[in-house]
Amino acid sequence: RIHVELTVEKDLGPNLTATVLTTGLLAFITMGMRTHVRITNRSWALEDWIMAVGCLPLMTLTIVTTIGSYYGIGAKDSTFAQPGNQKYVETAYFWFFFYQIFYCTSIIFIKLSIAFMLNRIAGRRMIFIYINYGIMGLCAATNLAAILYIIFQCHPVEAAWRADLMAEGTHCEPSVYLQNVYFFCTSVNIFTDWATALMPIALLWNVQMNRNTKISVAGILGLGIFTSVSGLVRLKYTVGLTSSHDYLYGLANILIWGYAEPALGMLVGNIATLRPLFQRLLHLGSSGSQQPHSGGTPHGISGGGGRSHRYKPFDHEVELGTIVDNKDGVVPSIQVRGGRGSVSSDSESQKEILEKNDRFVNNNKDSIVVSRHVEVSRE
């Protein structure tokens, strides 16, 4: 480890360690909660697999960044000038090299997971799906290109952290090129954060849901805007990549805000799936002692016949199903699913309802048809 005379007031290594462990812990805790919710509700989907795979590069990024802060990232030149500390310069560059690779890898998986979740909400509204595919392609291509540049900016590769190879005449690209890669990559990530955060507003605009439910779902999915804040702040410190003074000290701020971006992205993506857990823990939704408003059901989804019903408590989840757009109207389908012991209608009943809806749409071109699938668990 770097010499014991390193002080908290002087160097940023301890700050980097604290930030990484705090945000990383929150991300992985919510991932465990997400796994529990999705498995118990039997709703594990493609986006959950992608986020689960994304845990591997994020965990590696957490380890790499923590070790790097322990061995010199965030230390000033004066700290390295102390006897016995000079050897840690190469070690710090080594861990910074791998930080960059796993940062880009983590971003790709986390953003893809969120994008596929939005695609599931979009249903058959192809314009949103195509836009989302474009956003996913831009994000993945940009970060993959950044990974390739980082790996091959020096020839041989290990010259990126070994000063002795540089002295022997090996070649590395100018640091300003790396700075430009950072600027472009961060800008693209900020754009994709805003695009995926604002898309739920358009997706939920015409969905027949209780207003409070619609606002809460859109608000949770829109938390991605806050992940862009870390990218915006990181842009301020990116200029330090061309500095010749206190270079490793300046890297700490880049790593602090850089690590926060994928960690907060995973946190937001996980929170968006935890609504059933929050409802159960906070006793939200309907219960046997509560009377829904006239003509309503839990979550404000309108019931037929203007009747009111009492419901026993159950673990429920609102999922946005297929939303069909046509030139004459919109046919949303909303599913309310129970948890333990859910009782669903048989397939023949569902088939009959769908056939009736299809005939109704064909005969009433200007009408809006809402299809509901309700599953209620019984204690």
Both structure tokens of 352: 């009959």
Which SS3 state, helix, strand or coil, does residue 178 take?
helix
288-295: long-range contacts (C-beta < 8 A, 24 or more apart)? 288/312, 288/313
User: What CA–CA distance (Å, rounded) separates 326 from 330?
Assistant: 6
Q: Which domains does the chain have, with CATH numbers?
A: 13-280 (1.20.1070), 287-377 (no CATH)
- Spatial contact of 301 and 210, defined as CB atoms under 8 Å apart: yes
CA distances from 225 to 4, 126, 206, 219, 231 (A): 40, 24, 22, 10, 10
Task: State if pTM tops 0.75.
Answer: no
Cα 184 to Cα 9: distance, rounded to the nearest angstrom: 33
pLDDT tens-place values along the chain, 379 residues long: 554 444 444 788 899 999 999 999 999 999 999 999 999 999 899 999 999 999 999 999 999 999 999 999 999 888 888 888 888 899 999 999 999 999 999 999 999 999 998 888 888 889 989 999 999 999 999 999 999 999 999 989 999 998 888 777 788 899 999 999 999 999 999 999 898 888 877 777 776 667 776 677 667 766 777 788 888 999 889 988 888 788 999 999 999 999 999 999 999 999 988 888 877 777 654 444 444 444 443 343 344 444 444 433 334 444 444 444 444 444 444 444 444 444 444 444 454 445 555 555 555 555 555 555 555 554 4
What token pair was written down for 16? 């980097």
1 Cα distance to chain centroid:
34
- pLDDT for 98: 96
Q: How far apart are CA 324 and CA 126, in angstroms?
A: 9
Query: Rounded distance, CA 154 to CA 80, Å?
Result: 24
Q: Which residue has the tokens 């016949």?
A: 305
3-state DSSP assignment of residue 296: strand
282 class by beta-carbon count within 10 Å (0-12 exposed, 13-18 middle, 19+ buried)? exposed
User: Which one, of 266, 335, 226, 272, lies nearest residue 118 by Cα?
Assistant: 272
The three-state secondary structure class of 324 is: strand
- Residue type at 238 in one-letter notation: T
